[in-house]
């Protein structure tokens, strides 16, 4: 695999239920075993949950928007991951980000943050699964917000309308390395494919 002494920035993207969090943790472990000084997994969901527990107008209105099936506006999404970076990055970490970007308008601000923290060519990992496969996974994992079929369909619609254009943009942009991974495999096989393709890119 890569020389993990050098810090790297990874973005993991895919449908809800595709296993982004699981693969992020496996990648984190692999990088640490290869000698990375420090690796952190950044997920944006916790930041929004914390915001929605607040009493401010922004907190309550954002919660209303999300509960009604919408997405919080771009400025809140950018504030969310920016706040996480500011409070957690010291300049030495490799970062594995999942949950962002969520819209095309976030790509440029995120790249500015990546460059600010001194990362070279970021690498985007697309965990590709079908809509049917993802919805089955959402149902089987049993989380309260995943049991509702209408909510599952909303997540699929959001991915198709907002996330797929981001993935397409990354795949065409020479400022990024990009790998496409078959997410409809056993967890260990998905991880193996990620590691093999990372090795091919970095060597």
Angle at 69 between CA 67 and CA 75, to 5 degrees: 85
Residue 43, classed as helix, strand or coil, is strand
pLDDT at 149: 81
Enter the CATH code of domain 9-43+93-202. 3.40.50.300
Q: Is the pLDDT of residue 153 over 60?
A: yes
Q: Is the per-residue pLDDT at 94 higher than 80?
A: yes
* The pLDDT value given to residue 1: 43
pLDDT tens, position by position, 6-21? 899 999 999 999 999 9
| 105 class by beta-carbon count within 10 Å (0-12 exposed, 13-18 middle, 19+ buried) | middle
In degrees and rounded to multiples of 5, residue 41 shows phi and psi of: -100, 115
């Amino acid at each position: 695999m890569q020389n993990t002494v050098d810090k790297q920035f990874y973005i993991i993207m895919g449908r809800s239920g595709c296993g982004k969090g699981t693969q992020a943790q496996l990648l984190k472990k692999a990088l640490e075993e290869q000698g990375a000084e420090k690796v952190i997994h950044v997920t944006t969901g916790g930041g929004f949950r914390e915001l929605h527990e607040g009493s401010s107008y922004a907190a309550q209105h954002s919660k209303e928007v999300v509960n009604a099936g919408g997405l919080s506006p771009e400025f809140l999404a950018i504030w969310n991951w920016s706040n996480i970076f500011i409070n957690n990055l010291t300049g030495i970490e490799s970062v594995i980000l999942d949950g962002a970007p969520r819209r095309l308008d976030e790509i440029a601000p995120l790249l500015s943050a990546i460059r600010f923290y001194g990362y070279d060519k970021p690498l985007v990992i697309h965990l590709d699964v079908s809509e049917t496969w993802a919805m089955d996974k959402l149902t089987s994992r049993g989380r309260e917000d995943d049991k509702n079929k209408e909510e599952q369909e909303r997540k699929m619609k959001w991915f198709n309308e907002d996330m797929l254009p981001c993935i397409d943009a990354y795949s065409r942009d020479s400022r990024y390395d990009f790998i496409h991974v078959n997410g409809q495999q056993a967890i260990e096989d998905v991880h193996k494919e990620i590691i093999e393709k990372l090795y091919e890119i970095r060597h």
